[in-house]
Amino acid sequence: MRASIPAFLLFSSLFFLQQHVSADQKPKSKTTRPNIVFLLSDDQRPDTIAALGNSVIKTPHLDQLVKQGTSFTRAVCANPICTPSRAEILSGVSGFHNGSLDFGKPIKPELPTWSQTMHNAGYNSWYVGKWHNDGKPVIRGYDETLGLFTGGGGRWAVPSFDGNGVLVTGYRGWIFQDDKRNFFPEKGVGLTSNISEHFADAAIEFIERKHTKPFFLHVCFTAPHDPLLMPIGYENYYDADKMPVPANFRSEHPFEHGNQYGRDEVLLPFPRTKKIVKNDLSLYYSVISHLDAQVGRVVDALKKTGQWDNTILIFSSDHGLAMGSHGLRGKQSMYEHTIGVPLIMVGPGIPADQRKAAQCYLRDLYPTSCDLAGVAIPSSVEGKSLKPVITGEKAAIYNEVYGYFRNYQRMIRTDRWKLIVYPHLKRVQLFDLKQDPLELHDLSQDATHTKTLSKLQQRLNAWQKQQNDPSLASAKSS
């Protein structure tokens, strides 16, 4: 009969084995670095979140993020068109220096992108959704894509109409695809009423994977960009007849601002009417509410997988939109409804239910996420970390911010004043944003504000020279 092993010897043996188990057999410890989830909408005005003051729109999930995190109420996109705005986000560099000031312009390949920096710091770097820059995500530092949505070529374009019966002119040949250009037409061609769900599905698939490293997940929704299509189940969310038009609604813009008859502007007839703007806004709000539900699904996935408490979530948009404000429909302007963007940050180290009036840019998100995650910020990055504002160490990072659209518009905005310059018209606008937040009263011809205008113009000119702004040269030659 086998002799029994004394209990103390058995315990000693187990203790010895436990202490000397090989490193590759030990369970891997969880990373202390937070995951970064960046959710970006498209064409979303800064005033379209209920918790931030909009009493009409229904955004319960974004409202919850506002309560749980810190919102920047004066964030700007700098260049209010899709491709260059996204280039600034990816590079952390202004369009004057990253090579992408307009559509079709590539980002300088030598600039380390946000995704490359996170990948090099040990993150899985993933991309979901609309891609509107040169190349494709996997050559810009992303390890993998799911739910990739980009141009598929003219053969996919078919005539269609939006929710108001207007002929669709945007995204007609866009289609879901993978990195090898395999297409998935079963998910729809062009924008569809439920497209935001496809992006959320892909994001959730990434989130639900087994993770051995922290992840940087970049999700680009197309909502609420045109064509506006009523999401299924949202038909009765908003009554167009009861929808208020923007407080700064005008039937026409008073002058040709540089895009008066561009693609975005001809989506609505001239002159604008309150009825057509109400119809457009009811669709726009419905698409945002549907987007809000998808944001909620992504947050729920993070919570269900136990990753929410170690995740920094950032929500923003690439720029705003006029939707009838100032007689405009599109995004190519320097007015607050368009140059401004919603910006919410939630996660470890970020105070809850805070509003920050500090001015900032979308290109600041790259260095801010690095700073919050303990990742070195590349020297090429021009944006600045907002962490000191988030933590309360500083009240502001910038004394003023600047905006630009092609050679048609330039802007400087301080805490109080905004100067917009239209080089092609040799015309300016001056607004006192504290007294006139809707920008209805141009003070540029008011003699009592001559000194203010002159000082702002000097500061704007100095900044333009620093940026090697091409509009300065064109202004001198005209």
Provide CB contacts within 8 A for 254, sequence distance 6+: 327
Q: What is the pLDDT of residue 164?
A: 87
Helix, strand, coil percentages in the chain from 3-state DSSP, rounded to 5: 35, 15, 50
Q: CB 27: neighbour CB atoms within 10 A?
A: 5
Tell me: the pLDDT tens digits for 54-85? Answer: 999 999 999 999 999 999 999 999 999 999 99
Q: What is the pLDDT of residue 27?
A: 31
From CA 400, how far away is CA 419, in angstroms rounded?
Answer: 11
Q: What is the DSSP letter of 161?
A: B
Q: What is the pLDDT of residue 88?
A: 98
Residue 311 has pLDDT above 80, yes or no: yes
Q: Which of 157, 154, 100 is nearest to 132 (CA)?
A: 100
From CA 292, how far away is CA 182, in angstroms rounded?
Answer: 29
Q: What is the pLDDT of residue 10?
A: 39
Res. 31 pLDDT band, cuts 50 70 90:
low
Tell me: the pLDDT tens digits for 157-172? Answer: 888 999 988 899 989 9
From CA 452, how far away is CA 22, in angstroms rounded?
Answer: 71
Residue 457 has pLDDT above 70, yes or no: yes
Q: What is the pLDDT of residue 473?
A: 59
Res. 470 pLDDT band, cuts 50 70 90:
confident
Q: What is the pLDDT of residue 153?
A: 87
Res. 6 pLDDT band, cuts 50 70 90:
very low
Residue 30 has pLDDT above 60, yes or no: no
Q: What is the pLDDT of residue 383?
A: 98
- In degrees rounded to 5, what are phi and psi of residue 319? 180, 175
From CA 404, how far away is CA 78, in angstroms rounded?
Answer: 6
Tell me: the pLDDT tens digits for 177-208? Answer: 999 999 999 999 999 999 999 999 999 999 99
- Mean pLDDT across the chain, nearest whole number? 92
Name the percent of the chain lying above pLDDT 90. 88
State yes or no: cis peptide before 227, omega within 30 of 0.
yes
Distance of CA 156 to the CA centre of its chain: 27
35-399, CATH topology level = Alkaline Phosphatase, subunit A (3.40.720)
Please report which residue ranges of 305-398 form alpha helices under DSSP H.
Answer: 336-339, 365-373, 387-390
Q: What is the pLDDT of residue 438?
A: 98
From CA 440, how far away is CA 344, in angstroms rounded?
Answer: 28
* β-bridge pairing 360-361 and 35-41: unpaired
Residue 120 has pLDDT above 70, yes or no: yes
Tell me: the pLDDT tens digits for 285-297? Answer: 999 999 999 999 9
Q: What is the pLDDT of residue 476?
A: 53
Distance of CA 105 to the CA centre of its chain: 19
Residue 14 has pLDDT above 50, yes or no: no
Q: What is the pLDDT of residue 104?
A: 86
Q: What is the pLDDT of residue 32?
A: 80
Tokens, residue 18: 């436990």
Strand partners, 183: 177
